[in-house]
Amino acid sequence: MKNIKVSNNVIRRLPRYLRKLDELQYNGVQRVSSAELGSYMGFTSSQIRQDFSHFGEFGQQGYGYSVGLLRNQIATILGMDRNHKAILVGTGNIGRALMDNFCFSEWGIDLIAAFDVDEDMIGIKRNGVEIYDAATLFDFMAGHHVDIAVLAVPSDVARQVADNLIALEIRAIWNFTNVDITEPHSNVIVENMHFSDSLMALNYYVSEKDDSMVCAREVGGV
C-alpha cells in the first residue's frame, strides 16, 4: 500500500494511538468512539476525528471505530508491514538494553545484526542477534540490504561512526548518542532519542511548578 502523506504532528500521535488500540484489543474491546478514545488519551473527540480523517473513513456516526481495522490501518501507515532491516551499532548498556528488552519484530522491524569494537562482545548472540566486529561493517553492508542503523556508540565517536554509516548509504539512523550527528539538510533520516532534551523539558515543567507553588504561598494559598 502506498503511504499516505500526513503532517509531522499527526505522525507523532499515530504510535500513541497504536499502543492504545493494541491495549484495547488485548482487553477484548472491538469498537471505540472518538469521545472514548479522546478521554483515554487526553485529546478532544474532534481532534481524534480530524487525525483519522487523514487516512480514510473508519468511524460510523453513533457506532464508533472498529478497533482492529483502525489499528491495522495505522500500522500500515507507519510501515510496520514493510519489514525494514536494522542493524545495531554499539552494544554498551543502551545497545544491550535494546537487544534484550526492545522487541523490534513487534514493531515490524527486523534487527539482523549488531556491531561493536569490544572483543569481549564480538561473537556473542543476544536474543538471537549476533554481535560482529565493527571492522566488518563495510562488508556486511555490501552484502545485505540495511534500512536503519541504531546508533548507540559513545558520544565522542558518534559523528565519525555516523559519517561512516552515511558513506555506506544507510537510509536512516535511530540516534541514541545525545549528539547531533548530521547537518540540518542531510538526506539521511535521523530520529533522535536525545535523553537530555527530554530531561530538560521535564525539568522546565518541574521548575514551573516550583514557581506556581511560591506564587500560591505569596497570595496566601497553600
Contacts of 188 (CB under 8 A, 6+ apart): 166, 170, 171, 172, 173, 182
Least distance in angstroms from the C-beta of 193 to a copy of itself: 6
Residue 7 or 136 having the CB closest to a copy of itself: 7
Nearer to a copy of itself, 8 or 61 (CB): 8
Residues making contact with a copy of itself (CB under 8 A)? 2-3, 5, 11-12, 14-16, 18-20, 39-42, 77-80, 82, 84, 92-94, 96-98, 100-102, 104, 106-109, 147-148, 154, 171-172, 174, 180, 184-185, 189, 191, 193-211, 214
**Beta pairing partners, 115:** 89, 132
Least spacing, CB of residue 80 vs a copy of itself, in Å: 7
CB of 61 to a copy of itself, least distance (A): 25
Question: Shortest gap between Cβ of 82 and a copy of itself (angstroms)?
Answer: 6
| Alpha carbons 148 and 169: distance in angstroms, whole number | 10
Least distance (Å) between residue 167 CB and a copy of itself:
18
Nearer to a copy of itself, 136 or 198 (CB): 198
When the beta carbons of 60 and 155 are compared against a copy of itself, the nearer one is 155
Q: Which is nearer to a copy of itself, 102 or 140 (CB)?
A: 102
